[in-house]
Amino acid sequence: MKVLKKNKSHKLRIFNFWQGNNKDRFALFGIIAGIWLLIKALEELLPNKYLDKLPSDVSLTLLGMMIMLMIFHAIFIFVAQYHRRRNPRELSGTYKPSIDIFISAHNEETVIASTLDRLMQLNYADLQIYIINDRSQDKTQEIIDTKAKNSNGKIIAINRPQDAFPGKAAALNDALKVSAGEVILVLDADAVIEEGFIDNIVAYLDDPLVAAVQAQKVISNPEANLLARQQLHEYAMDTYLQMGRDSIRGSVELRGNGQLIKREALEDVGGWNEETITDDLDLSTCLHVNGWDIRFSPENQVYEEAVTTLDGFIKQRRRWAEGSMRRYLNYFLQLLKPGNLTLNQIFDTLFFLGEFSIPLWLSLDVIYEVIRFANGRETYLTSLMYLSICLTIIIGVSMFNGLRIYKEQKVFEALGNTLVGITYILLSWNVVIMMTYRKILFSRSVGTWARSPKLG
């Protein structure tokens, strides 16, 4: 086995020349300033006869063009998914590599025992379970040591010292150094998978160009409260979008829990990036820019707990958003470099970049239009309203299709849940995104990896 060095850098893995948040701050500010300068240049350079023909000002026109591309993308993935469901791809059942399961556990005493008991029941032929106690301060270490002792060697416990480099990525890299499996299955401490999960999903990796495959994530406790129920609907929408990305061979993303990755691919990119706060998203983009493909498997499910408190939910989503934005900033030049991504992957990535750019863009345009209105100048509030409606429809169609197809809800049930879900998405995501912009642009520090609370 090739031994990985701590924080090894690959040729396309970004090295942080600046400490703290400076690099990402300047990169994000540069992108925002560049877009603003482009808008101003078009306003100054385009003749008035062309400007007068625009449906609104230059900023809203460019925003409208972006939303039109998103509508085209939504139609594209809908048609591609329909075709894939009618003509499913044949998977080989002969690929049976050795599998190592990695679980990073940080203060998981409420769930880790039952998770390990379930995994011990799996019948996959060549399977090893690595449970990493990541600096826990509860009874996690005692529990996993006991489970490992009574497992006849099937469970291997790795105890990281309290002064070890923090974060899930570092814990996974520690396990990677001492394991030998051809494929790594990463699970959360509360993950639940069914018998046959590994046998079925590993077939996606038979393709030599495929580095990883992500299972469908499903909320296990939707009855807990309204917030947990909305996360169930959100995950259904995510499944629909992931399935769409896979159907067009776009930029499928890993989701941390229920991801299988070839050791060969991990070693090619230098393992997990320990500087990121979202190891799964960073690894997804790193694999793509290095020529690897990622697949999505909707028929194989991994269950996990929803966050049931508003404070925990905001912290979790803010970390996800910050980690996702920072990985795009880190790999920005590699994403634009010809030959690193296919045309479908580029188009797909541009669509999902809209998740982060449009909330800020719309907010700034609203403020600008209100100022124009207050000064008695012509406004384009109607155009702004139409663009907002189009964006809402894109979100609603994705959630409705996700609930209909992957939760098998009836039309009116799915429609009702979609209407509530749209409100949930728009409120939570806009708040989280604006908090993330503030963090990157004005904070001196980078966010840190944090465990999502689990009740067991």
Q: Residue 338 — φ and ψ, nearest 5°?
A: -60, 135
Write down the pLDDT at residue 372.
84
What six digits make up the tokens of 58?
A: 């230059």
Q: 219: which 2 tokens? A: 């909320």
Q: What confidence tens digit (pLDDT) does each residue in 377-402 have?
A: 888 888 889 999 999 999 999 999 99
Per-residue tokens: 250: 């776009």
Res 337: pLDDT: 84
What amino acid occupies position 269? V
pLDDT at residue 451, rounded to an integer? 67
Ranges of the chain with pLDDT below 50: 1-11, 14-19
pLDDT of amino acid 12: 54
Q: What is the pLDDT of residue 71?
A: 95
Residue 258 neighbours by CB under 8 Å, 6+ apart: 185, 186, 187, 191, 193, 214, 215, 216, 217, 300, 301, 302
DSSP H helix total and E strand total for the chain: 15, 8
CA 154 to chain centre: 31
* DSSP conformation letters of 162-212: TTSPPSHHHHHHHHHHH---SEEEEE-TT-EE-TTHHHHHGGGGGSTTEEE
Closest among 343, 382, 342, 384 to 363, alpha carbons compared: 384
- CB atoms near residue 44 (< 10 Å): 8
- The predicted pLDDT at position 18 comes to 44
Token pair of 187 as six digits: 């699970």
pLDDT at 383: 87
